[in-house]
Structure 1
């Protein structure tokens, strides 16, 4: 009886371990690769992301630099201040122009 319980617990533990491993690999490796392929097929290019953190560190650095100083004047065009990575990467990689048929 005790052996059956231990064997059942072992099977449950191993299946849980495989599930966690698959979810982790899927989240941090498979899904980002799939999204990148889909975007490249659409003509969207960008910087190469790092494992686990992606481009968050670069984005954070650009945002902190752009918001470190006060604005000279009030302007409704705040993309360059709040999303400097978008402006920088658009200039570096080009804007995506969709072709409509």
Structure 2
């Protein structure tokens, strides 16, 4: 999750090949974090030459799903989603 407003550069860094393929530190939240609505939630993936990316902004009740029958690089999927969703009011304040 990325707090809004966010930038394309921040999303690209968080979804880079290096970030995805290397172990990342975890942190236990005690007490649990409250539900966050003003965020950008995303997930990417690929298998057997197919690629996907999903992004959702709960505050805006807006999201996007990108499916491709070709495994486009994660960065290109993230940039495409950001270009479309950054036009919503909360995403780019």
The TM-score normalised by the length of structure 2 is 0.22
Greater helix percent: which structure? 1
Larger strand proportion of the pair = 2
| Greater radius of gyration (CA) | 1
TM-score by length of 1: 0.21
